[in-house]
Chain A
Amino acid sequence: MVDAPTPTSPLAGQTHLPRANGPVGVTIAERVFAGMLVLRGNAIDPAFIAAAHGALGFDLPLIANTATSAGSNGALWLGPDEWLVVTAPDDAMARAVGLKVALVGLHAAVTDIGDSRTIIRLSGPKARDVLAKGCPLDLHPRTFGPGRAAQSLIARAGVIIHQLDDIPSYDIYILASFAAYLWNWLTDAGLEYGIVPGAKL
């Protein structure tokens, strides 16, 4: 007899942090099992945009390096014909089916990549400073605020960075196999500012 299977997130068990001294400047947490779909299609085809809106209930971002969201769902612009649709954990399958149905007859593609990546949420007044240690992008509020998303590097790992709010908080999308590296890197970089585990997501 085989045990009932349990799913494992890329950062399961990766919560140990050295004790921070001083005030807490930044928190770090894994956003577990968010649904993620890569949506490909022609952004200048009104039928495609309409169909996507119909299936998602919100607009796809059409401006480069921005994100749109509605509740726990949202979409990040990744390229002129590519978006990352992010959903609540159990919602991905239904969204994928909904999109596929809505996009019948159009040249579009929906690929589930919800297990490819995980999300590290970095939040707190020093979150920007932690990112500046590894990310070459200019994340200053004048150039990168809430609703902005970009593909870049943190140290030696490719990431998608999505700013959520003015705290600031960031959702950092990272390939599963790189997640432990990035987690360890971020926590090490954050020690100077007082980094502690964030609330469970």
Chain B
Amino acid sequence: MNDQPFRLDTAAAPGRIDRGHAMRFVFNGRGHEGLAGDTLASALIANGVHLVGRSFKYHRPRGILTSGPEEPNALVQLRAGERSEPNVRATQAELFDGLIARSQNCWPSVGFDLGAVNELASRILPAGFYYKTFMWPPSAWMFYERLIRRAAGLGRAPDDPDPDIYDKRYAHCDVLVVGAGPAGLAAALAAGRSGARVILCDEQAEMGGQLLGQRAVIADRPALDWVKAALTELAALPEVTLLPRTTCFGYYDHNALALVERVADHLAKPAAHQPRQRLWRVRAARVVLATGAIERPLVFRDNDRPGIMLAGAAATYVTRYAAAPGRRVAVFTNNDSAYRAALALFDAGVGVAAVIDLRPEPGPLAGEIRARGIELLTGHGIVATHGARRIAAIEVMQLDESGGRAIGPVRSIACDALAMSGGWNPTVHLFSQARGRLRYDAAQGVFLPDRCDQALANAGACNGAWSLGDCLAEGFAAGATAASAAGYATAAPSAPAVPPESRAPLRVLWVVPSDRPIGEGGKHFVDFQNDVTAADLGLAAREGYRSVEHLKRYTTTGMGTDQGKLSNVNALGILSEALAAEPSTIGTTTFRPPYTPISYGALAGRDVGALADPVRTTAMHTWHAEAGAAFEDVGQWKRPWYYPKLGESMHDAVNREVKAARTCIGILDASTLGKIDIRGPDAAEFLNRIYTNAWSKLEVGRSRYGFMCKDDGMVFDDGVTTRLAADHFHMTTTTGGAARVLAWLEEWSQTEWPELRVYMSSVTEQWAVAAICGPHARDLLAELATDIDLDPKTFPFMAVREGRVAGVPARIFRISFTGEISYEINVPRRWGLALWRALMQAGADKGVTPYGTEAMHVLRAEKGFVIVGQETDGTVTPIDLGMAGMVSKTKDFIGKRSLARGDSMRPDRKQLVGLLTDDPRIVLPEGGQIVAELKPEPPMAMIGHVTSSYHSPNLGRSIALALIKGGRDRMGQALHVPLADRTIRVKVVEPRFFDPEGKRQNG
């Protein structure tokens, strides 16, 4: 048994490990062997490895302190390479064959640690040392921070992408039970038997909670027999879901809870298609919290040496994992539970050096301790510990009656491990996250759940029920009550018999005294992960820190990945003593999710890579892709940006496309434009109220351009709307505005004008749209449109016709965003690709040129057509855009009153103008600030900014649009655009550069 020298034999400790299934693993570069059923921590203990890390600040050697999620020391970087994960608690990492782990907080090794020099310098690292030391100069913090973070060494994120799948799912249930210890199992049984939908989750691989690490008896049989029967029954209930390896880490409003299931974390690598972890988002009608309790360390001098662990953990390692924490274990306690741990150790063949009890009177199990020949020292405390990399001896002294002073002779006791217990803190994290209030129980020295407005109940140790019988009874009752409240009436089953437990009260001593004052000759650790000592807390109190929240941040108590699971109550007790106040008046710090660290992968789920966000594509997308288009993201849409030919730059391609649209034929996929079908006898009146211009007199078959404003009078969207029948309109919106415009229309229809008989439906995706434009556009359409008369006299600009194009049914709008002869051909989406192909085929010999959004922008800018969201920013009125003619003076519309405000009519409002640079080759940067009075350096009065700016191939020069204060009165003025490296002189012109009379589109 050289390989696992501290593994107990089957006769002494059967354990819940599979002795026939050995597993190899590597820790800090050294090979070891463990067993199936081990955690990394239990396997290390079986191998006699206690030194697992170095502390955060002083780099003191640290050992495995716990057997659960509260572990502050044994944090490892688990696995290597792309699957590597930091901050894994060795106490929760299930062993698998080939596991590789490294201590994460030590350099270059746990045995030889360079950072330990901090220990020698600890006098200059007191509480709040970050604040005191690195405050000056402020600019240097970035530099300090880098060094601090490197020294802290809190794990490394892997460099390569995570290869695994992370899953998410929603779940709903009548009763969610958190924790599968005795209380949780009982609650799940009571609720499950009623037929209610029950989810039972537990963070461990095996359900049973503390019973797994104890030698309890239920109904005259080993408690684990009862656990097994309960799980068998639960598994057979069709509406019960058992989720082992699942941590409930967040409790939110309205009984929304978040769970993370570690589906394959216990495997070297997930199976094909198997998620590594799964995030459960649960909505529960009722919640039963059976989260148990976490043992509290005792705060005494040098209480952090490897080999010192919690007594419950020591018992668990022996009973559950058959791993002995040492050959000769001392036990130090202020309560009865450590007596049971001592008995468990002894009965498994582990030597017990002594039981040291802070209480003057021994607990009820004293007889059993003494019967085994174990020395019991009551009214004593440990005043010092010895041992470099592992505890080797303790020094014990008697305490005076008050417990404030150590008296009498010092006695040294040799040991190679120390099991300590300062009592148990109910695990109230989730209860507190649910906004539950806590109350302080001075007799027990614990915070207990008080009341909570969410539909939850607490059962078992988390509720202060310490005996097994009470846990079972509370669990059954809570489960039955929860199921009944959720509509599944049921009575609580009677709890099985358990042997009675008598117990004596614990003795609360927040700091165990020694022969030296606190802070001298050793350290009394409170927060092991953050290296906060009792002396630090006392210092903070003397410096005036009264609020526990301030104390936490100043001293960093409870700020590590363990979030103070071990330290918070001790810190609070010490603070309350320093301030001579009751802990109840000081309260606790805020408990926040997550209960234990959660991987980003679990939070992201499958919203990564190609599924990170929907990619919306049009009916013609495959053609664009095959044509080699470069795509632009417009919201979630992929729109062709430009279509580069071989060897063309973007500039070349855009110039070619822009020229073709004005000299020949351009074709644009305009499918993404928002479209809304508006019907009803009051549709025209509805539009009158929505748009700034008038709609009543629009003839059937004709189109009109309109602005809509928000109630503040600012432009909200624009587009062309067409009257298809007296009571039927086809509205178009901007691509990005489609959804919000429909919501806007519905809001006004439903909440303000219910008397108007009008219905709206989105038809954005019903129609695929190919917009063709240019002097030869009509020729191209003529070849395909067999039954529509295209004569401009009968089918003029701003009109609509229905018919067939290329053999498919179509609606053709003669509307234009380029200022050319233009037809926007709408066909049902299924025909979009066919239409596009037909147009490209028929136009091949006519020079038809597909153009993208960039050319579209240039073409419209040449015409001075605005884009909502580019020329407007929510502070621009239609009048500011020079569109006063489109704002009705007679009828009412949304925003009208706001447009009459003095501020809306100020002459110096920013108004839309054109800008021409003195040097026609210079293209202004969009967003460039404009000044009238140039100064040698800022500040200068900025009177506006460039909104759009392009090279115009049709004009052979640059053009720009801008919003400038009082811009329309500045026509012909010279202004300046100062940039970082130069200043560009510009002239203010009308915002129409090409075909200013607008003749071409009518052709």
A44 nearest CB across to chain B (Å):
14
Which among A109, A116, A156, A188 is the interface contact of B765 at CB below 8 angstroms?
A116
Segment at the interface with A among B245-253, B673-681, B914-922? B673-681
Question: Which residues of B lie under 8 Å from residue A3 when comparing CB positions?
Answer: 837-838, 841
| Bound: A5/B36 CA distance, A | 65
User: Is B832 on the interface with A (CB-CB < 8 A)?
Assistant: yes
Contacts of A50 in B (CB 8 A): none
- A191 close to B806 (CB less than 8 A): no
Encoded as 1 (CB less than 8 Å from any A CB) or 0, chain B from 815 to 849 comes to 00000000000001111111101100110000000
Choose among B606, B759, B765 the residue that contacts A185 (Cβ–Cβ < 8 A): B606
Q: Is B793 an interface residue (CB 8 A)?
A: no
Inside 8 A of A143's CB, which chain B residues have their CB? 172
Q: How far is the CB of A59 from chain B (nearest CB, A)?
A: 21
Note all chain A residues with C-beta closer than 8 A to B606.
Answer: 133, 155, 185, 188-189
Question: Which residues of the other chain, A, contact B617 by a CB distance below 8 angstroms?
Answer: 177, 180
CB distance from A115 to the nearest CB of B (A): 4
Assembly CA distance A132 to B173 (angstroms):
13
Complex-state Cα separation, A3 to B832, whole angstroms: 14
Query: With A115-B765, A115-B766, A132-B170 as given contacts, are A109 and B614 in contact (CB-CB < 8 Å)?
Result: no
Q: Tell me the A67-125 residues at the B interface (CB within 8 Å).
A: 81, 107-109, 111-117
- Interchain CB contact (< 8 A) of A2 among B613, B761, B842: B842
The one of B167, B615, B677 in contact with A181, judged by C-beta atoms closer than 8 angstroms, is: B615
Q: Which residues of B contact A6 (CB under 8 A)?
A: 834
Majority SS of interface residues in chain B? Answer: mixed
Within 8 A of B (CB), among A127-148: 129, 132-138, 140, 142-143
Whether a CB of chain A sits under 8 angstroms from the CB of B807 is yes
Query: What A residues does B272 contact at CB under 8 A?
Result: 21
Note all chain A residues with C-beta closer than 8 A to B835.
5
B191-233 interface bits toward A, Cβ cutoff 8 Å, 1 = contact, 0 = none: 0000001000000000000000000000000000000000000
Smallest CB separation, A30 vs chain B (Å): 12
How many angstroms from the CA of A134 to the CA of B279 in the assembled complex? 11
Give CA–CA (A5, B611) in the complex, Å. 32
- Residues of B near A138 (CB, < 8 A) are 172, 283
A164 to B281, CA, bound (A): 26
Q: Judging by beta carbons under 8 Å apart, are B761 and A40 in contact?
A: yes
Is A192 on the interface with B (CB-CB < 8 A)? yes
Which of A9, A81, A109, A136 lies at the interface centre, i.e. has the most chain B CB atoms within 10 A of its CB? A109
With both chains docked as a complex, state the minimum distance between the C-beta of B1001 and any C-beta of chain A, in angstroms: 27
Distance to closest chain A CB from B787 (angstroms): 15
How far, in Å, is A166 (CB) from chain B's closest CB?
15
Indicate which residue in A40, A142, A156 contacts B759 across the interface (CB closer than 8 Å): A40
Q: Within 8 Å CB of A20, what residues of B?
A: 273
Contact call B761/A111, Cβ cutoff below 8 A: yes
**B30 interface residue per 8 A CB criterion:** no
Chain A residues positioned under 8 Å from B607 (CB to CB): 155-156
Closest to A136 in B: B170
- Check if B833 sits within 8 Å of A8, measured CB to CB: yes
By the criterion of a CB under 8 Å from any partner CB, how many residues of chain A are at the interface?
A: 52
CA distance A21 to B830 in the complex (A): 35
Q: How long is the Cα–Cα vector from A188 to B766 in the complex, in angstroms?
A: 28
Interface pair A107/B761, CB less than 8 Å apart: no
Which residues of chain B in 559-618 are interfacial with respect to chain A, using CB atoms and an 8 Å cutoff?
Answer: 606-607, 610-611, 613-618
| B784 touches A (CB below 8 Å) | yes
B413 at the interface (CB under 8 A from A): no
Known: A5-B834, A8-B830, A177-B637. A116 touches B762 (CB 8 A): yes
**B143-186 with Cβ < 8 A to chain A:** 165, 167-172
Query: How many residue pairs, one in A and one in B, have C-beta atoms under 8 Å apart?
Result: 136
Residue B372 CB within 8 A of the other chain: no
Q: Which residues on the B side are within 8 Å of A40 (C-beta)?
A: 679, 759, 761
Contact among A4, A9, A155 for B830, CB-based, below 8 A: A9
Q: Complex: how many Å from CA A175 to CA B767?
A: 12
Q: Please measure, in the bound complex, the distance between the C-alpha atom of A181 and the C-alpha atom of B763, giving whole angstroms.
A: 20
Whether, in the assembled complex, A33 has its beta carbon less than 8 Å from a beta carbon of chain B, the answer is yes
When distances are taken between beta carbons in the complex, the residues of chain A under 8 Å from B784 are 2
For residue B172, which residues in chain A have a CB less than 8 angstroms away from its CB?
Answer: 138, 140, 143
Q: Is B503 an interface residue (CB 8 A)?
A: no
**A177 contacts B833, C-beta separation under 8 Å:** no
A178 on the B face (CB < 8 A): yes
| Cβ contact within 8 Å between B766 and A113 | yes
A91, chain B: closest CB distance, angstroms: 15
Contacts of A189 in B (CB 8 A): 167, 606
State in angstroms the CA–CA spacing of A132 and B283 once bound together. 12
Complex contacts, A137 vs chain B, CB 8 Å:
170
Is the pair B828, A109 in contact by a Cβ cutoff of 8 Å? Answer: no
Partner of A38, one of B761, B767, B828: B761
A188-B611 contact in complex given A114-B828, A136-B170, C-beta closer than 8 Å: yes
Q: Which residues of B contact A142 (CB under 8 A)?
A: 197
Inter-subunit contact A109/B761 (CB<8 Å): yes
Asked if A177 and B616 make an inter-chain contact with CB atoms under 8 angstroms apart, the answer reads: yes
Mask, A23-57, CB within 8 Å of B = 1, is 00000000001000010100000000000000000
- In the bound complex, residues from chain B placing their C-beta under 8 Å from that of A107 are 680-681, 757
Give Cα A3–Cα B614 distance, bound, in whole angstroms: 33
Q: What are the residues of chain A within 8 A of B168 when measuring CB–CB?
A: 133-134
Interface pair A7/B765, CB less than 8 Å apart: no
A:160-193 near B, CB below 8 Å: 175-178, 180-182, 184-185, 188-189, 191-192
Smallest CB separation, B971 vs chain A (Å): 44
Assess whether A136 is in contact with B281, with CB atoms less than 8 Å apart. Answer: yes
Closest to B807 in A: A5
Question: What's the nearest-Cβ distance from chain B to residue A11, in Å?
Answer: 11
Q: In the bound complex, do residue B830 and residue A33 qualify as a contact, i.e. CB atoms below 8 Å apart?
A: yes
Judge whether B243 is part of the interface by a CB distance below 8 angstroms: no
The answer to the question of A10 belonging to the interface, with a C-beta cut-off of 8 Å to chain B, is yes
Cβ A21 vs Cβ B169 within 8 A: no
Contact A109 B830, beta carbon cutoff 8 Å: no
Q: Identify the closest chain A residue to B275 (Cβ).
A: A192
Q: Please give the distance in Å from B679's CB to the nearest CB on chain A.
A: 4
**Residue among B274, B617, B784 with max Cβ neighbours from chain A (10 Å):** B617
Q: Is the CB of B169 within 8 A of A109?
A: no
Shortest Cβ gap from B747 to chain A (Å) = 14
Query: Which residues on the B side are within 8 Å of A180 (C-beta)?
Result: 615, 617
Contact A2 B273 (CB under 8 A): no
Q: Judge whether B171 and A184 touch: CB under 8 Å.
A: no
Residues of chain A contacted by B167 (CB below 8 angstroms): 133, 189, 192
Which residues of the other chain, B, contact A4 by a CB distance below 8 angstroms?
807
In the complex, what distance in Å separates the CA atom of A107 from the CA atom of B754?
A: 13
Q: Are B616 and A178 in contact (CB under 8 A)?
A: yes
The reply on B667 being an interface residue by CB < 8 A is no
Contact A2 B169 (CB under 8 A): no
| A68 → B minimal CB distance (Å) | 20
Q: A116-B829, A181-B614 are in contact. Are A135 and B170 (CB under 8 A)?
A: yes
Residues of A within 8 A of B679 (CB): 40, 109, 111
Give bound CA distance, A174 to B597, whole Å.
36
Closest CB of chain A to B827's CB: distance in Å? 9
Give Cα distance in the complex from A184 to B834, angstroms.
25
Digitize B108-128: 1 where CB-to-A-CB distance is under 8 Å, 0 elsewhere. Answer: 000000000000000000000
**Closest approach, in angstroms, between the C-beta of B417 and any C-beta of chain A?**
44
Q: Is B619 an interface residue (CB 8 A)?
A: yes
24 A-B pairs (CB sep. < 8 Å): A2-B838, A2-B842, A8-B831, A10-B829, A21-B272, A33-B830, A40-B761, A81-B759, A107-B680, A109-B761, A111-B679, A113-B765, A116-B764, A116-B829, A133-B168, A177-B617, A178-B614, A182-B614, A189-B167, A191-B273, A192-B165, A192-B273, A192-B274, A192-B275
Known: A2-B838, A177-B617, A181-B615. 7 other contacts (CB 8 A): A2-B784, A2-B807, A5-B834, A112-B828, A116-B765, A142-B197, A192-B273
Please give me the 3 A-B residue pairs with the lowest Cβ-Cβ distance, nearest first.
A5-B834, A177-B616, A7-B830
Instruction: Point out residues on B near A: beta carbons under 8 Å.
Output: 165, 167-172, 197, 272-275, 281, 283, 606-607, 610-611, 613-619, 637, 677, 679-681, 757, 759, 761-768, 783-784, 806-808, 828-835, 837-838, 841-842
